[in-house]
A and B are shown apart, each in its own frame.
Chain A
Amino acid sequence: MVDVTSDVVERAWSALETVTDPEIPVITLRELGILRDVQETDAGLQVIITPSYSGCPAMGQIEDDVRSALEQAGIPAQVVTRLAPAWTTDWLSDEAKVKLRAYGIAPPQQTRPDVSVLKFMRRPPANEPVACPQCGSTHTLVSSQFGSTACKALYKCLDCLEPFDYFKPY
């Protein structure tokens, strides 16, 4: 007997498999952790997405891209934005981190849920050095905690002298 329910869910997942982030076209929404779930509900199929940063201007584009990928595959579904649990860079797969580095963006380090924000503010823990995605050197310096998009910081490598983006732990 064919399980129709899981079939449409699976088809939706595979239709969305190739949808990438508009700013970082080498990683998919699933790898980024923005695409959370596909669910069969009484109201029909629901695709759950979650924003990265609250004000990320790419979210509108992402929602449109998800909708049009589903339409092209002929799958009627509703795109639902859900805030909890809050997106974290810890959801990025290892595969996504390799792709980010190859694209010239240093991947995020693990967040530290054990360090409370307040302790973090008073005495920032010594993070592991961020490795340059070009030459691999850890002899790098933060230029600014805010970069070309909300999710990135600006670094420079003191060995190869190239500036680079660092995907901030969030």
Chain B
Amino acid sequence: MKANAAYLLHLADNAVVLGQRNSEWCGHGPILEEDIALANMSLDMIGQARLLYQLAATRIGGDASEDRLAYFRDASEYRNYTLLELPHNGPLVGYAVADRDYATTTVRNFLYGALMVLLWDGLQKSADEDLAAIAAKSLKEASYHLHHSRDWLIRFGDGTEESHARAQAAVDHLFAYSEEFWSDSVAESAAVDAGVGVDLRELRSAWDALVDETLTEAKLARPEVKGYLPSGKNGAHSEHLSYLLGEMQVLARAHPGGTW
């Protein structure tokens, strides 16, 4: 049984976009250990994305390759969650300049990490053996990532007045974007119907429990979410993705096929 390429691209795009976004901290981390930690996690996610793009390329056939899929698709062709493309600060337009906020980074990593531990765990049993193999590897990495973001979220939330306020502001800003996890996409429905994908709605109660338990321990409040449903996984992105891809893709597009 083989997963459709669109499902693999959704998973790959998630990993590469957050990997690229978090790598912005490389050389700018708040402390040396966090600088190294974020770079390591980005490396894991870009590695996961490569495995998924390579697999998708074999499913697509023709001249598809991991580089073509990562570097030569435009923002509207990307299928990542909107949550993952947002900058490391509060709500601002794409060209605005702002200091990166580590609480925003941490909250995003936690919300996504809590999902991915559950999703990779489910995908280990996928009827697509190649995808199951990638999931089994990625799960080990995702559990270290979740451990990291969960530790820091508790430290921030149950920390100083300043760290608590910033963590709560980040939770309030980002939580609505997690609603996208539970919404429909054609690629996911097809994968679930074929027995190769996981229906995320079945993971929701476990995700809720993990998130609620952590927020409680962090003395943070879970905001009420209503009215807004992002749809990055269907290709409708915020303006931030094209800036991110612009930086990520410029070299490959300026020198197509270049090697060193």
Contacts and interface: CB of A to CB of B under 8 A. Distances in A.
Contact of A150 (B44, B130, B136): B44
B40 A86 contact: no
Nearest to B139: A117
Contacts of A121: 117, 143, 146-147, 150, 210
Interface of A is mostly: loop
A138 interface: no
A37 B48 CA distance: 23
Given A53-B43, A83-B133, A124-B147, A118 B118 contact: yes
Given A118-B117, A121-B117, A122-B210, A54 B37 contact: no
Interface of B is mostly: helix
Contacts, number: 90
Nearest to B36: A146
Interface in A66-92: 83-88
A83 B137 contact: yes
B225 interface: no
A145 B139 contact: no
A12 interface: no
Given A117-B143, A121-B147, A146-B148, A57 B137 contact: no
A144 B117 contact: no
Chain B contact patch, size range: 35 or more
B48 to A, nearest CB: 5
A56 B129 contact: no
A146 B33 contact: yes
B179 interface: no
Contacts of B150: 121
Interface string A132-170: 000000000001111110100010000000000000101
Contacts of B139: 117
Contacts of B41: 146
A146 B143 contact: no
B90 interface: no
Contacts of A125: none
A122 B141 contact: no
Nearest to A154: B33
A118 B119 CA distance: 12
Contact of A54 (B50, B117, B130, B210): B50
Contact of A118 (B43, B45, B130, B206): B206
A120 B121 CA distance: 13
Contacts of A44: none
Contact of A145 (B37, B45, B47, B138): B37
26 contacts: A53-B137, A54-B47, A83-B130, A83-B133, A83-B136, A84-B132, A86-B136, A86-B140, A116-B121, A117-B117, A117-B139, A118-B117, A118-B206, A121-B146, A122-B210, A143-B33, A144-B36, A144-B37, A145-B37, A145-B144, A146-B36, A146-B41, A146-B148, A147-B40, A154-B33, A154-B36
